[in-house]
Amino acid sequence: MQTKYQRLIGLAVWVSLLAILLTGPVQRGWNLANNAASIHPFLEKDVELTIQDPMGLTKLNAPVFVETETGWQQHGIVTNVTKTGDAENGTCDIRLYGSIHRQSEMDFLVYRNSGQLSEVISTMLPPPKRQQIAERINLIIEQHGQAFVQELIPVVQQTLSAAIPEIESGLRESITRHQEEIDGLLERWNQQYIEPELIPLAKQELLPIVRTHAQPVAESIGRELWDRASLWRFGWRAAYDKVPLPKKNLVQQEWDRFVENDAIPVFEGHTDEIVIAIQKSLVDITSSQIVRDQMTNGLSQIANDQETRELIQTLIRESIMENDSLRRKLEGVWKSEQAQQIIAKNSERLEPVVRQIGEDLFGSETDGINPDFARVLRNQILGKDHLWIVAIPRTDESQAQLRAATQWMPYPLIYTTESSQQGSERW
């Protein structure tokens, strides 16, 4: 009898221990099943919809999202895609689960993420974030922009002083190497544009404008020069140069004296009138619709000419980008002690803002990876989230429709792991 009681007591102890040990796993399993039922289509009552997909927009296992009061949630998945010989009869099966399940309530928009740079930029820099980064940049410019510019002016001046001669030299060398191409191109443009279009334009439009404003000044200068010129002085010197006497070139000497002592003062005295005449001529030329149209047409022809563009690109590339002498000069300027001190000083000013912008784009140690950056990583690195469907309420009683979205949007949901202790989200 005593042995029987001992066995019963031992059994009770072991059952109690097993119950205590299994309480945690059973509870966690129950919680996991409940949580899984909220996201997995096969663990909760759902509805299967068959929708026409004549354009073949969907693919198997594409998620279906719905925007709710608490944000985007997945409420469906594409379970089957049927393609027949007749494209118009293509269909797809969508399984809806959760509280969104009535076909008469929803239409479906198909979104695609092709991974293009424009989409990456739109994802990484939505309008609120662009505004935030712009405000940070404006703030640092207001605080340190003027000081930075003043400190950098000497280095920029040295850069220009060193660069311009090297660019000129490189351009001359490049022109020399491509002189035959340039001559051929100029000859072609002379035949195609200058002679048939530009010269007639100059005769018909430009010369009359210039004559109108310049002729009065030119006549006034001519009369003064004529009054100052001495035919006697020029005449006897010309005669003297013809006779066989040792001293020659008296006409040239008289001409040099006339230019220096008479002609130049006359022109200087009419400088203001000449400037006014030039200004009026330019105003009339730029105001002429015929001249503007013709010049625009000529520039358009040059800009659209493949051979001209390639030659200009070659000259620029050889004289600037492939100019080793220019590169060495610029490296010498920007690696100088003065430039390094300026850069180091301003790096300290810019570092906090640059760090903040980096956190805006990529995330921080405290908040984790930025959701937008996570979207880009999933798409570009993991090859995910290329196609998804958004269910939207329908306003009429027609059949559910499946159509391609006309506006781009980022992938609506990023899956997170919640910290039960801190109640925060980590990405």
Phi, psi of 4 (to 5 degrees): -65, -45
**pTM given for the model:** 0.48
* pLDDT, tens only, 184-223: 888 888 888 778 877 787 777 778 887 887 788 787 877 7
Partners of 281 in the β-ladder: none
Question: Residue-wise pLDDT tens for the chain (427 aa)?
Answer: 556 556 666 566 565 655 555 555 555 554 544 444 444 444 455 778 888 887 888 888 889 998 888 888 888 889 888 876 665 678 888 888 876 545 457 788 899 888 888 888 888 888 889 898 888 888 888 887 788 778 888 888 888 888 888 888 888 898 889 888 888 888 888 888 778 877 787 777 778 887 887 788 787 877 777 666 655 555 555 655 555 555 566 656 766 776 777 777 777 777 888 888 888 888 887 788 887 887 778 778 777 888 888 888 888 888 888 888 888 888 888 888 888 888 888 788 788 888 888 888 888 888 888 888 888 888 888 888 889 999 888 766 667 778 888 888 888 877 655 433 333 333 3
DSSP bridge pairs for 143: none
Q: Where are the domains of the chain?
A: 45-113+385-426, 178-304
- Determine contact, residues 238/251, Cβ cutoff 8 Å: yes
- Terminal alpha carbon distance of the chain: 64
Give the chain's length.
427
User: Which residue from 59, 71, 63, 60 is spatially nearest to 40, judged by alpha carbons?
Assistant: 63
- Match 């180091």 to its residue by tokens: 344
Give the distance from CA 334 to its chain's centroid: 26
Counting other chains too, the contacts that 282-291 makes at CB distance below 8 Å and 24 or more residues apart are 284/209, 284/212, 284/213, 285/205, 285/206, 285/209, 288/205, 288/209, 290/201, 290/205, 291/201, 291/205, 291/206
